[in-house]
Amino acid sequence: MTAKKKSGGGIWILAAALLVLAAVAAGYFFAKGYGERESGDGRTDGDSQTVRDDGGNVPAGTSYSALNMTPVELLFVTNSETGRIEHMLLAVLNCAAGKLNLIGIDTDVSCTMSGKLYSELTPGNTELPQTVTFSELYRYYHNDRAYDAGRRIFGELINFNIPYYAAVKDVVFDEFMYYSDAGAGFRLSADELKGRDYGTEGSVKGAIDRAFADAVTNFGISDRLRYLEVYDALTAGDVVFDEAPVKEKNESTSLDTVGTGAILYGILY
């Protein structure tokens, strides 16, 4: 099944719930910028606590779907042998509305960091160039540092802070999903995702456990499962896939930051 810039079908919905379980702290647009403000060390208010609309902490045991939240997460799919970032998906979950939006991002776009961000990232590796592609970040960092750098670079490009990330290996990703220039789709039916093969019949919980067991992420499975009722309830039309637009100039491809920001703004508002 292929989905591109339109609502997904039943397979889309449940597998998207599995692979981009955007169980992350909220990202909100501010009046003079799209996202949360970062402190000097790169941390945000959302790094240490989950935030809701009224600014209060989410009490332990609270169901996220009961809150009017719009969590955002950047998903990286990595080559199992080389560590190269093969795919990126931005996931935006509106718990109150029961909608999930996915934005595919070209990992080979050229990204030029501001001097400020570059100076903050280079202490981790002085060989990091100021203009880099997401796919090549693995050459300069290992594991979580590469994904955190990718999170911060992408966030700066679109002026939106994405507090959290998850990276899964391609062999795990490919078990459930395919993604190419022609579009994206999922290999398993809804019944298979909720079936006994994953140990939890009638829910995607078991599939989530399996997909994220070895993921490199700054948000744990137990917290992800607090979104379970939202994902289990998604129906046809609740998942929408889009691709971040790019610009071509002098044989170089860069992210259309205005166009991508407009897509995200349209999702959140």
Question: pLDDT value at position 183?
Answer: 62
Residues 107-118: tens digit of each pLDDT:
999 999 999 999
Determine the Cα–Cα distance for residues 166 and 100; give it in Å rounded to an integer.
Answer: 16
Beta pairing partners, 93? 100
Question: pLDDT value at position 58?
Answer: 41
Higher pLDDT among residues 32 and 8, named by residue:
8
Please provide the average confidence, as pLDDT, over all residues in the chain.
75
Mean pLDDT of 175-189: 72
Residue 187 has pLDDT above 50, yes or no: yes
Domain spans, the chain = 6-54+62-268
Question: pLDDT value at position 260?
Answer: 95
Question: pLDDT value at position 220?
Answer: 76
Best mean pLDDT range from 14-23, 28-37, 229-238: 229-238
Question: pLDDT value at position 131?
Answer: 96
Residue 59 has pLDDT above 50, yes or no: no
Determine the Cα–Cα distance for residues 236 and 262; give it in Å rounded to an integer.
Answer: 24
Q: Are 193 and 201 in contact (CB under 8 A)?
A: no
Residues 134-181: tens digit of each pLDDT:
999 999 987 789 999 999 999 999 999 888 899 999 999 999 877 776
Question: pLDDT value at position 179?
Answer: 77
Q: What is the dihedral of CA 91, 97, 98, 102, to 10 degrees?
A: -20
pTM, entire model: 0.77
Best mean pLDDT range from 19-28, 125-134, 213-222: 125-134
Contacts of 117 (CB under 8 A, 6+ apart): 152, 153, 156
Question: pLDDT value at position 99?
Answer: 83
Higher pLDDT among residues 261 and 49, named by residue:
261
CATH code for the part of the protein at 6-54+62-268? 3.30.420.590
Closest CA to 85 of 60, 103, 107, 118: 107
Residues 221-260: tens digit of each pLDDT:
887 788 888 888 876 677 778 899 999 988 889 999 999 9
Question: pLDDT value at position 191?
Answer: 78
Higher pLDDT among residues 242 and 36, named by residue:
242
